[in-house]
């Protein structure tokens, strides 16, 4: 029986209606690994389509970080295409479009077109080029300089359908401040990426791909995300070809009331599902987590449990390979100024079965190519 691997592309639809049209964001996130066509070197990439406050549209993109806009309390309104890479030369590139140059299918399945940038359930295409002079002259763009273009097919294999009311009355009431749906927590990408003149091939077997979306009126703090489908059993030495884990959350708000520090978690382990979901109270979910910054790394220690199972996750990622990723909130503020974001994390997961008053080890798993985020408002 599938508990969380339930496809629902309706949750990938454009969500900025009603109140969210004038104070809301919606984004479609994709991350994956490519291989340098000449050297064979791996590089981790991300591509995101982020939309904000359509009802406040003007003829040009509106940036909340511009002093004159902040003084006039003008909120941001635009499509931002975000793309970049992680590693020793990590960078984020932003390209902005006004709403009158953006076409979004509001039904199912979703699609977004702006210039040569395109996103849908099964395709990604686009380009961004930012010169050093442009990046320096436009701090409101919140990005680095560089060039990246891409042409990719997208095949979403395993979903994490969190199920806490998205697409129901709770969503209609905008009960949660931030929603999450991972239609493709394991996704096969294929195609090419060109980054600063170098061509990278992207293939299903080596991309370790991921695709999700978030939407709402504000961001969570703390902000936690971990996911990977590159796993190997430390017990048997076998690569786990049909496995993926996904953990996200922090401190959600429901009707403006903050819940305790809690996370949503799912582990698809060779076809078996293990879920740790606070909205499914009958499973008696519990979460303990600690994320912190050292001089050289970001580290996550997480223990999640339900009535029958326990999952312990420890991940670390070098800060030298990560970004401080940038977003404006729909109210125009920049609340996350130290939101660490990476795609080259490594670590270990231990999965246990509860047996009597003790724990029985199911597997001890090495993980790499971990997508990861940690940040708190500061």
Residue 262: per-residue pLDDT: 83
**Distance between CA atoms of 31 and 20, rounded to whole angstroms?**
26
252 pLDDT band (50/70/90 cuts)? low
What pLDDT score does 174 carry?
57
Query: Mean of the pLDDT values across residues 299-320?
Result: 97
Task: Tell me the mean pLDDT in the region 343-353.
Answer: 98
Average pLDDT for residues 326-334, to the nearest whole number?
94
For residue 167, pLDDT over 50 is answered with: no
> Does pLDDT of 172 surpass 70?
no
| pLDDT, average across residues 9-30 | 96
pLDDT at res. 194: 98
Query: In which band, very low, low, confident or very high, does the pLDDT at 281 lie, cut at 50, 70 and 90?
Result: confident
Q: How far is CA 290 from CA 240, 275, 293, 339, 375, in A?
A: 27, 19, 10, 15, 12
Q: What is the pLDDT of residues 179-238, one digit of tens each?
A: 999 999 999 999 999 999 999 999 999 999 999 999 999 988 889 999 999 999 999 999
- Return the domain boundaries, the chain: 9-375
Question: In angstroms, rounded to a whole number, what is the distance separating the alpha carbons of residues 182 and 135?
Answer: 32
What's the mean per-residue pLDDT of the chain? Answer: 93
Q: Give the pLDDT mean for 301-311.
A: 97
pLDDT exceeds cutoff 90 at 2: no
Among 55-59, 215-219, 369-373, the minimum mean pLDDT is found in 215-219
pLDDT tier at 1, thresholds 50, 70, 90: low
Task: Return the pLDDT at 61.
Answer: 98
Residue 253: what pLDDT? Answer: 56
**Residue that is written with structure tokens 């029986």 in the block:** 1
Contacts of 51 (CB under 8 A, 6+ apart): 14, 16, 25, 26, 27, 78, 79, 80, 102, 104, 112
Residue 377 has what pLDDT? 81
In whole angstroms, give the CA distance from residue 261 to residue 266.
17
Task: State how far Cα 10 lies from the chain centre.
Answer: 18
**Tens digit of pLDDT for each residue in 92-133?**
999 999 999 999 999 999 999 999 999 999 999 999 999 999
pLDDT in tens, 254-280: 555 556 678 999 999 999 999 999 878
Residue 24: pLDDT over 60: yes
pLDDT score of 175: 58
d(CA 128, CA 42): 21
Mean pLDDT is lowest, of 13-27, 206-220, 270-284, 331-345, for: 270-284
The upper half-sphere exposure of residue 134, i.e. CA atoms within 13 Å in the direction of its Cβ, equals 13
**Which one is predicted more confidently, 253 or 160?**
160
When pLDDT is cut at 50, 70 and 90, the band that residue 165 belongs to is very low
In DSSP notation, 6-49 reads ---GGGGS----GGGGTS-EEEEEEEEEEEETTT--EEEEEEEE
């Amino acid at each position: 029986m599938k508990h969380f691997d339930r496809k629902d592309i309706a949750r990938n639809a454009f969500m900025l209606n009603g109140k969210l049209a004038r104070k809301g964001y919606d984004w479609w996130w994709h991350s994956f690994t490519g291989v340098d066509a000449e050297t064979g070197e791996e590089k981790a990439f991300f591509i995101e389509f982020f939309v904000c406050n359509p009802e406040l549209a003007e003829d040009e993109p509106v940036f909340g970080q511009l002093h004159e806009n902040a003084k006039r309390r003008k909120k941001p309104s635009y499509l931002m295409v975000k793309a970049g890479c992680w590693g020793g030369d990590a960078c984020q590139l932003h390209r902005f479009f006004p709403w009158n140059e953006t076409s979004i299918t509001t039904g199912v399945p979703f699609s977004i077109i702006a210039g040569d940038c395109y996103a849908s359930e099964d395709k990604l295409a686009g380009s961004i080029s930012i010169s050093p002079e442009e990046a320096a002259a436009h701090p409101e763009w919140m990005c680095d300089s560089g060039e990246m273009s891409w042409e990719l097919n997208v095949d979403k294999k395993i979903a994490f359908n969190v199920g806490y009311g998205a697409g129901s009355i709770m969503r209609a009431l905008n009960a949660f401040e931030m929603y999450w749906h991972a239609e493709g927590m394991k996704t096969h990408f294929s195609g090419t990426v060109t980054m600063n003149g170098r061509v990278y091939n992207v293939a299903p077997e080596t991309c370790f791909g991921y695709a999700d979306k978030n939407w709402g009126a504000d961001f969570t703090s703390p902000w936690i995300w971990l996911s990977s489908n590159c796993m190997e059993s430390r017990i048997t030495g076998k690569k786990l070809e049909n496995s993926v884990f996904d953990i996200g959350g922090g401190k959600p708000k429901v009707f403006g009331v903050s819940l305790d520090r809690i996370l949503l978690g799912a582990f698809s382990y060779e076809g078996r599902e293990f879920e740790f979901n606070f909205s499914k109270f009958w499973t008696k979910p519990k979460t303990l987590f600690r994320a912190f910054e050292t001089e050289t790394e970001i580290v996550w220690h997480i223990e999640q449990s339900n009535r029958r199972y326990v999952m312990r996750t420890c991940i670390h990622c070098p800060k030298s390979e990560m970004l401080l990723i940038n977003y404006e909130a729909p109210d125009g503020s920049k609340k996350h100024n130290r939101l660490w974001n990476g795609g080259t994390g490594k670590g270990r997961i231990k999965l246990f079965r509860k047996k009597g008053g003790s724990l029985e080890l199911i597997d001890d798993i090495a993980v790499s190519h971990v997508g990861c985020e940690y940040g708190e408002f500061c």
